[in-house]
A = this chain, B = another copy of it.
Amino acid sequence: MTSTSLPASSIVAGPPPSLQRAVAVIEPMLDEVVGRLSPTIESAVRYHLASGGKRVRAALALLSAAAVSGDEAGAVAGAVGIELVHNFSLIHDDIIDGDESRRGRPTVWSKFGVGTAVIAGDAVLALANQVLLEDPSPYAARAAAFLGTATQQMIAGQADDMAFETERVVSVERCVEMSRCKTGALLRCASALGAILVGATDAQVEALGDYGTHLGIAFQAIDDVLGIWGDPEATGKSAANDVLRHKKTIPIAAALASGDPSADTLADLLTGDLAPEDVVRVAALVDELGGRRHALALADRHLGAAIAALERVSLAAEPRAELVMVAHYVTERDR
């Protein structure tokens, strides 16, 4: 449910090869299935997809199949399906959040209208299921059910995220649980979906899924930090939005739980309408109260847990190494 662009970090010089491969591998099927949509919807969806996501979830689905069977070929429908679910959620999230731009371009609703954006998202969600159920794998129905569960969790996380905006204080635990759903569920699914399609064991699915869950939480914690202190040039979105909307992200939840008397001032600030100078004050206060440090430490712990999960089961060495690279890549961003 996040869309921050991922600039090159000090560890990795650019997107790992698996991400570049994923873009090419899923393109033909993605293009074919989007071409089945009715003209208005197709235009809106192609416009959205052209904004250039990193296809991280597709790469994870392909790598998970390779880690289990040595071959990515059986996982293409899974990679396309998970990208479709991710993009359906972006199209609808932009309506929900009232965001007018994404990656520097007008969002689907602001370009085509709310009505078209609603049905475009619906069509993309339905398409994701169709793609999986059409796959010849004997495990296609299991994969479709797995994707359905993840989708439902992601939506529940989004509902919690919205509900938190009107709560004065949200604990770090609830905030992490929300991130586990909102962001972690789909990354969990991506990291095991390809493996399911090629007949992974339950233990492999569990380990790959745990990798994805922890990666999702780590990713979200970093995204939350960038949502307050990120460079809008690099992230492609205003750094003030999360604060203006009273979002209870991980750094804010941690600051509110600091026990410091200023936590109450912070809670007050996050209750009313915020002027630009208030946003600056909130950012400074959350930092002083240790919110940023807490979120980054939490991200590091979950990154470690993600990588450790891959060690629990037998997986092919090269795809496993690529999964580790992807994990570093998506969590090493301009902090």
Q: Which residues of A contact B (CB under 8 A)?
A: 36-41, 88, 92, 95-97, 114-116, 118-119, 121-123, 125-127, 129-130, 133-134, 140-141, 144-145, 148-149, 151-152, 155-156, 158-160, 162-163
Chain A interface secondary structure, helix, strand, loop or mixed?
helix
Contact A41–B159 (Cβ < 8 Å):
yes
Contact B149–A145 (Cβ < 8 Å):
no
Residues from chain B with Cβ under 8 Å of A92 in the complex = 118-119, 122
Contact A162–B126 (Cβ < 8 Å):
no
Query: How many Å from the CB of A294 to the closest CB on chain B?
Result: 26
Residues from chain B with Cβ under 8 Å of A97 in the complex = 115
Cβ-closest chain B residue relative to A126: B151
Cβ-closest chain B residue relative to A152: B126
Query: How many Å from the CB of A71 to the closest CB on chain B?
Result: 24
Q: Contacts A126-B151, A141-B133: A116 and B156 contacting too (C-beta < 8 A)?
A: no
Residues from chain B with Cβ under 8 Å of A141 in the complex = 133, 140-141, 144
Name the contact of A122 in the complex, choosing from B36, B125, B160 (C-beta under 8 A).
B125
Residues from chain B with Cβ under 8 Å of A144 in the complex = 129, 133, 141, 144
Name the contact of A121 in the complex, choosing from B115, B122, B152 (C-beta under 8 A).
B122
Q: How far is the CA of A95 from the CA of B145 in the complex (A)?
A: 28
Residues from chain B with Cβ under 8 Å of A140 in the complex = 141
Q: Contacts A125-B126, A141-B144, A144-B144: A115 and B162 contacting too (C-beta < 8 A)?
A: yes
Question: Apart from A114-B114, A118-B118, A125-B126, what are 14 other A-B pairs with CB-CB below 8 Å?
Answer: A36-B152, A38-B160, A39-B163, A92-B118, A95-B118, A115-B162, A116-B162, A119-B155, A122-B125, A123-B156, A129-B129, A130-B145, A133-B145, A141-B141
Contact B41–A155 (Cβ < 8 Å):
yes
Residues from chain B with Cβ under 8 Å of A37 in the complex = 152, 156
Q: How far is the CA of A127 from the CA of B155 in the complex (A)?
A: 11
Cβ-closest chain B residue relative to A162: B115
Query: How many Å from the CB of A158 to the closest CB on chain B?
Result: 6
Residues from chain B with Cβ under 8 Å of A118 in the complex = 92, 95-96, 118, 121
Query: How many Å from the CB of A220 to the closest CB on chain B?
Result: 17
Contact A126–B114 (Cβ < 8 Å):
no
Q: How far is the CA of A267 from the CA of B270 in the complex (A)?
A: 53
Q: How far is the CA of A151 from the CA of B133 in the complex (A)?
A: 14
Contact A130–B114 (Cβ < 8 Å):
no
